[in-house]
Amino acid sequence: MHPLMAVGGGEFAPETVYLNSASAGLLPARSAAAVRDALAEAASYGTMGRDYFGPAERARRAFARLMAVPEERVAVGSSVAVRSAFVAATLPGDGEVLVAEGDFSSLVNPLAARPGRPVRAVPREALADAVRPGTALVALSAVHALDGKIADLDAVREAARAHGALTYVDITQAAGWLPLSLDGFDFVVCGAFKWLLCPRGTTFTVFGGERPGPGWPEPVHAGWVAGEDPGESNYGVVDRPAATARRYDEPHAHLSYVAAERSLGLLAEIGVDTVHAHDTALAEEFRAGLVAAGFTPRPAPGSAIVSTPGLADAAPRLARAGVRVAVRGGLLRAAFHLYNSRADVARALELLVR
């Protein structure tokens, strides 16, 4: 039996045709069950449970394995925006921040909000060519949330290296379906509540470069959980931060990470390559059906996200028929993931072409 068929039968049984993973993923059955158990436990043992750190550590380990990065370079947190503010606060010098025009606000707005730090936006396709000697940081999404276009990460990384700029990549719309190599990037952030099927409040940050080591930025927002021994870091200045990227941890949402551990385990069992083949095949079939019906999706070769102009008004009709999509920037956006099937593609096309 195909791995996705086996998973779909036991882990997912949505009451809708769910084509909205680019907004938020579905929670697997195993993850939902773990949260229910943790909620019951909280009634007797408090909202930190009997083991506050265990699920987060196991989720960190599972994310690191899925992304093929060292566990000691991964920090846990709550949101992409908080991590962007951290990057902005620790960025050395006074050089510019280079971003892609129209990139996701949680990535770019905290960078722009930093006083005295110029931010320059250029078209996504021109990002690598726009890096210059005065560029301190290049920030971009690996996959654009609006239209699903996949960035040329290799070109941006090499251009940044050539000019001595740091790199900051948001993989929120990529991790879980798109095979990625994170080698050579200085900061990589991932909101895990979309394609990684985790609850909101689950975010991972990967620190690159020569890290762990003395070149790490200061843990400017570190609290008690960031100490080498959190039990001894409750009061006063934390004089012994963790030796790993745990020094950048936020006090995490316990229930979110209870579920994250299971969701990431599920994706590891299936494999990102398998999910990628499944998701992109469905997206390509959907694109072909739209083109045959006279519509023109935004170009996004190889993407699991399909965004189409001229169809935004159809979203309420699809919702009434039990098909969940999104409208972003005037585009009808459909996103295909492991719990979708060719029958879902056919149903959406039937409603759109009608």
The single-letter DSSP state of residue 177 is: T
pLDDT at 172: 98
Higher-pLDDT residue of 93, 197: 197
Higher-pLDDT residue of 294, 10: 294
Please state the rounded mean pLDDT for residues 74-86. 96
Distances (CA, A) of 289 to 132, 174, 182, 198, 275: 42, 24, 34, 31, 21
- Same structural domain, 10 and 65: no
- Same structural domain, 128 and 251: yes
> Does the pLDDT at position 213 exceed 50?
yes
Which of 233, 268, 303 terminates a domain? The answer is 268
pLDDT at 210: 66
Q: What is the CATH number of the domain that holds 322?
A: 3.90.1150.10
Does this model's pTM top 0.85? My answer is yes
Higher-pLDDT residue of 103, 209: 103
Count CB-CB contacts under 10 A for residue 118: 13
> Does the pLDDT at position 271 exceed 80?
yes
Please state the rounded mean pLDDT for residues 249-268. 97
- Same structural domain, 157 and 281: no
Q: What is the CATH number of the domain that holds 152?
A: 3.40.640.10
pLDDT at 353: 87
- Same structural domain, 12 and 97: no
Largest Cα separation within the chain, whole Å, is: 66
Please state the rounded mean pLDDT for residues 263-292. 98
Question: Rg (Cα) of the chain, in Å, rounded?
Answer: 21
Percent over 70 (pLDDT), the chain: 96
Please state the rounded mean pLDDT for residues 332-336. 98
Domain of residue 279, residue span:
3-27+271-353
- Same structural domain, 85 and 21: no
> Does the pLDDT at position 99 exceed 50?
yes
- Same structural domain, 252 and 301: no
Which of 253, 268, 283 terminates a domain? The answer is 268
> Does the pLDDT at position 170 exceed 50?
yes
- Same structural domain, 97 and 235: yes
- Same structural domain, 66 and 113: yes
pLDDT at 212: 65
| Burial class for 73, CB neighbours closer than 10 Å (0-12, 13-18, 19+) | buried
Which of 268, 303, 326 terminates a domain? The answer is 268
Please state the rounded mean pLDDT for residues 95-100. 97
**Total count of domains within the chain:** 2
- Same structural domain, 264 and 275: no
- Same structural domain, 137 and 172: yes
Residue 69: strand, helix, or coil: coil
pLDDT at 216: 85
Cα separation, 71 vs 251, whole angstroms: 18
- Same structural domain, 65 and 120: yes
pLDDT at 1: 38
pLDDT at 278: 98
Please state the rounded mean pLDDT for residues 166-173. 97
**Residue 231 pLDDT grade (very low, low, confident, very high; cuts 50, 70, 90):** confident
The single-letter DSSP state of residue 203 is: E
Question: What backbone phi and psi angles, to 5 degrees, belong to 7?
Answer: -65, -45
- Same structural domain, 186 and 291: no
